[in-house]
């Protein structure tokens, strides 16, 4: 049922601000984790004694496309070393994980699902012809062990069974063996049905459960899209039904759900785990590819341009475990945290605050977004997300020069050795669309491109507005960008060693301590936009690429009971305690400390 096929890193290359962002990642934690972190550097996957489960596959899932997108030969060689080591340890029966035969029954095979998906990513990037056979043998072994009852799905593997279909669909296209569809059915039968968990999503409690775990739910959204083909089922857009329920009872302003670490209800001062952001982005990328439904691409943009950069430091050496939309401080809590099941360090920026899964996993966010800029089907190419990049494939070259989403201007330079159809997805919020200077209907642009060269200029307008949120609060939005009142801060650095893991500059831990006021409300005055050039750090708090001027007044907001560094869920009073002041709002993704959801007062 796939609507669009993804290109690979051989065909898409980033430019402009996107390349700057990817280079920051390569120079930061994502590009250096294998040099400094024992769970990657000394992993059992490559013969070491540290983690032999999800962390190396998680890390490779982002490191591999990052290396190939940037054409970084050192990183490409490092990726190959890891893949070679993993392949060399594959057992004769196909088992591929670092687990002895006598312990397989108690080994959570989420790692099998994840490593086969990661190997598929490596194949897409490298074209290494060893990989299809490695995946085939691994999944054939998985099928035989599950069918014979030697292993079964439990815990993470049970709740992430659909992740196997990334690799399973790949080998089905190449081999088409009967056992592949049988394995699909076994996974579906033993896997968890999230339709049965809806009741618990509506009344979330501070209890750790697999079926309310935010990362599981972020992954789950693509379940029907990726599995229905092999299962022989009709696609019903079940993802939208489940997403809308999650949003109604746990939604966030940045198109995700509260989950710190399980669902936490509607609140601007509950957190969302970073792993969930990148996994939800991947789900939306695949949902758009499989269905062509534009809503998934628009929600992808909100996540990618807001939630992802907001929870990673500007140099990309540190990250949070949990982010809050109203985040007035990032200081370690005393003993008890305000989160559902996460600890006192979850909001700090560091190497592995709270838990290391996000340390390994966050790197997939920007690289997979870059790969999603263009998609294709037959002789049709679509610019699905307007990112500065070059597509060079099969006699077609398209260069897109743009600072979108900060500026709504796109310049396409096309060279074609053959005729093809070119579609540009225009966001639903676009106004006054022009193509080569002429007014056009505000909908997707579809052009028949003939052999030769062509230039295409596309522009549209967006208007900032107050978007209503629950609890009488509002946020400012302009296009795909959310805006926040930034809070100035001082950084307090912590260098130390814990459990043999060293934290030292630049991958030490940081607390962000506020130095400016945050207790404001919006005045219902006109919002004005000011454009600034995009810098070398696209999501910089001190040099944001776009600003919105807003009139605001101080109010008596107050802090959450028991937590002096967390603002109250809603203000204690809407009574103004100051004269009106003009403030500059900046993109949510630029503000590490921020107020995003605030009341409107007369």
SS3 for 345-408 is: CCCCEECCCCCCHHHHHHHHHHHHHHHCCEEEECCEEEECCCCCEEEEECCEEEEEEECCCCCC
Element holding 77 (H helix, E strand): helix 73-88
**Residue 298, pLDDT score:** 98
Report the alpha-carbon distance of residue 110 to residue 519 in Å, rounded: 44
Q: What is the mean pLDDT of residues 187-211?
A: 96
Q: What is the mean pLDDT of residues 69-80?
A: 98
94 Cβ contact list (under 8 Å, min separation 6)? 137, 138, 139, 140, 141, 142
Report the alpha-carbon distance of residue 334 to residue 527 in Å, rounded: 39
Length in residues, the chain:
602
Could you report the per-residue pLDDT of 239-265, keeping only the tens digit for each? Answer: 999 999 999 999 999 999 999 999 999
Among 531, 563, 557, 555, smallest CA distance to 544 is for: 531
Report how far apart, in Å, the C-alpha atoms of 196 and of each of 110, 191, 200, 242, 256 are: 21, 12, 9, 11, 21
Q: Six-digit token pair at 579?
A: 């004269």
Q: What is the mean pLDDT of residues 128-135?
A: 98
543 SS3 class: coil
Helix ranges, 95-151 (H): 110-126, 131-147
Could you report the per-residue pLDDT of 482-539, keeping only the tens digit for each? Answer: 999 999 999 999 999 999 999 999 999 999 999 999 999 999 889 999 999 999 999 9
The answer to whether residues 38 and 499 touch, using CB atoms and an 8 Å cutoff, is: no
The answer to whether residues 303 and 296 touch, using CB atoms and an 8 Å cutoff, is: no
pTM: 0.97
Report how far apart, in Å, the C-alpha atoms of 174 and of each of 126, 136, 171, 457 are: 17, 10, 5, 40
Report the alpha-carbon distance of residue 596 to residue 297 in Å, rounded: 23
512 Cβ contact list (under 8 Å, min separation 6)? 329, 330, 331, 349, 489, 490, 491, 492, 592, 593
Report the alpha-carbon distance of residue 206 to residue 342 in Å, rounded: 10
Instruction: Compute the Cα dihedral for 63, 69, 72, 74 and give only its sign.
Output: positive
Report how far apart, in Å, the C-alpha atoms of 554 and of each of 237, 274, 456, 564, 569 are: 44, 31, 47, 18, 16
Check whether 602 has a pLDDT greater than 90: no
**Residue 153, pLDDT score:** 98
- Determine whether 442 is exposed, middle or buried from the number of CB atoms within 10 Å of its CB (0-12, 13-18, 19+): middle
Structural domains in the chain? 375-461 (2.60.40)
Grade residue 430 by pLDDT with cuts at 50, 70 and 90.
very high
The answer to whether residues 456 and 449 touch, using CB atoms and an 8 Å cutoff, is: no
Report the alpha-carbon distance of residue 311 to residue 327 in Å, rounded: 11
Q: Is 232 left (phi over 0), alpha (psi -120 to 50) or beta?
A: left
200 SS3 class: helix
Reduced to 3 DSSP states, what percent helix, strand and coil does the chain have, rounded to the nearest 5? 40, 25, 40
**Residue 206, pLDDT score:** 84
**Residue 442, pLDDT score:** 84
CB atoms within 10 A of CB 431: 11
Q: What is the mean pLDDT of residues 52-76?
A: 98
Instruction: Compute the Cα dihedral for 538, 542, 548, 553 and give only its sign.
Output: positive
Report the alpha-carbon distance of residue 539 to residue 3 in Å, rounded: 32
330 SS3 class: strand
Grade residue 448 by pLDDT with cuts at 50, 70 and 90.
very high
- What value does the mean pLDDT of the chain take? 97
What end-to-end distance do the CA atoms of the chain give, in Å? 52
Could you report the per-residue pLDDT of 363-387, keeping only the tens digit for each? Answer: 999 999 999 999 999 999 999 999 9
The answer to whether residues 135 and 167 touch, using CB atoms and an 8 Å cutoff, is: yes
Residue indicated by tokens 């920051």: 24
Grade residue 282 by pLDDT with cuts at 50, 70 and 90.
very high
465 SS3 class: strand
**Residue 454, pLDDT score:** 95
**Residue 247, pLDDT score:** 98
Report the alpha-carbon distance of residue 592 to residue 484 in Å, rounded: 10
CB atoms within 10 A of CB 306: 31
Q: What is the mean pLDDT of residues 432-458?
A: 95
């Amino acid at each position: 049922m796939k609507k669009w096929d993804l290109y690979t890193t051989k065909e898409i290359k980033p430019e402009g601000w996107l390349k700057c962002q990817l280079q920051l990642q390569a120079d930061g934690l994502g590009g250096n984790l294998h040099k400094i972190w024992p769970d990657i550097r000394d992993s059992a996957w490559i013969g070491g004694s540290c983690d032999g489960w999800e962390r190396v596959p998680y890390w490779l899932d982002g490191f591999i496309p990052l290396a190939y997108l940037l054409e970084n030969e050192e990183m490409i060689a490092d990726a190959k070393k890891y893949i070679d080591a993993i392949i060399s340890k594959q057992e004769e029966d196909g088992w591929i994980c670092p687990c002895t035969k006598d312990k397989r029954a108690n080994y959570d095979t989420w790692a099998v699902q994840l490593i086969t998906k990661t190997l598929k990513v490596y194949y897409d990037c490298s074209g290494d012809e060893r990989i299809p056979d490695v995946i085939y043998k691994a999944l054939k072994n998985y099928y035989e062990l599950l069918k014979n009852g030697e292993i079964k799905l439990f815990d993470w593997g049970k709740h992430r069974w659909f992740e196997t279909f990334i690799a399973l669909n790949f080998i089905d296209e190449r081999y088409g063996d009967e056992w592949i569809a049988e394995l699909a059915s076994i996974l579906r039968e033993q896997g968890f049905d999230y339709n049965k968990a809806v009741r618990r999503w509506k009344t979330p409690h501070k209890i750790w459960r697999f079926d309310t775990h935010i990362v599981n739910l972020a992954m789950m959204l693509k379940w029907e899209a990726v599995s229905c083909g092999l299962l022989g089922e009709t696609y019903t857009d079940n993802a939208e039904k489940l997403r809308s329920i999650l949003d109604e009872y746990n939604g966030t302003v940045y198109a995700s759900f509260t989950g710190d670490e399980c669902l936490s209800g509607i609140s601007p001062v509950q957190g969302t785990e970073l792993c969930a952001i990148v996994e939800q982005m991947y789900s939306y990328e695949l949902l758009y590819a499989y269905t062509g439904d534009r809503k998934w691409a628009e929600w992808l943009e909100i996540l990618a341009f807001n939630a992802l950069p907001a929870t990673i430091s500007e140099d990309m050496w540190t990250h949070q475990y949990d982010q809050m939309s109203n985040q007035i401080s990032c200081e370690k809590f005393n003993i008890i945290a305000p989160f559902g099941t996460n600890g006192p360090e979850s909001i700090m920026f560091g190497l592995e605050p709270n838990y290391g899964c996000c340390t390994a996993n966050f790197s997939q966010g920007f690289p997979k977004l870059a790969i999603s800029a263009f998609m294709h089907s037959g002789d049709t190419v679509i610019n699905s997300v307007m990112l500065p990049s070059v597509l060079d494939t099969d006699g077609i070259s398209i260069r897109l020069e743009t600072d979108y989403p900060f500026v709504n201007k796109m310049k396409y330079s096309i060279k074609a050795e053959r005729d093809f159809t070119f579609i540009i997805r225009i966001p639903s919020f676009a106004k006054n669309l022009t193509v080569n200077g002429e007014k056009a209907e505000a909908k997707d642009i579809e052009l028949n491109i003939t052999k030769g060269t062509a230039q295409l200029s596309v522009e549209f307008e967006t208007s900032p507005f107050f978007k209503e949120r629950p609890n009488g609060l509002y946020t400012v939005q302009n296009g795909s960008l959310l805006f926040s009142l930034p809070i100035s801060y001082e950084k307090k650095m912590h260098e130390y060693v814990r459990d043999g893991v060293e934290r030292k500059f630049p991958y030490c831990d940081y607390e962000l301590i506020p130095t400016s006021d945050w207790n404001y409300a919006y005045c219902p005055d006109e919002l004005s936009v000011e454009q600034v050039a995009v810098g070398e750090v696209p999501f910089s708090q001190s040099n944001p690429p776009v600003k919105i001027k807003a009139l605001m007044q101080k109010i008596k907001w107050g802090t959450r009971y028991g937590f002096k560094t967390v603002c109250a869920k809603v203000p204690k009073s809407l009574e103004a305690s100051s004269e009106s002041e003009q403030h500059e709002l900046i993109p949510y993704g630029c503000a590490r400390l921020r107020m995003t959801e605030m009341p409107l007062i007369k």
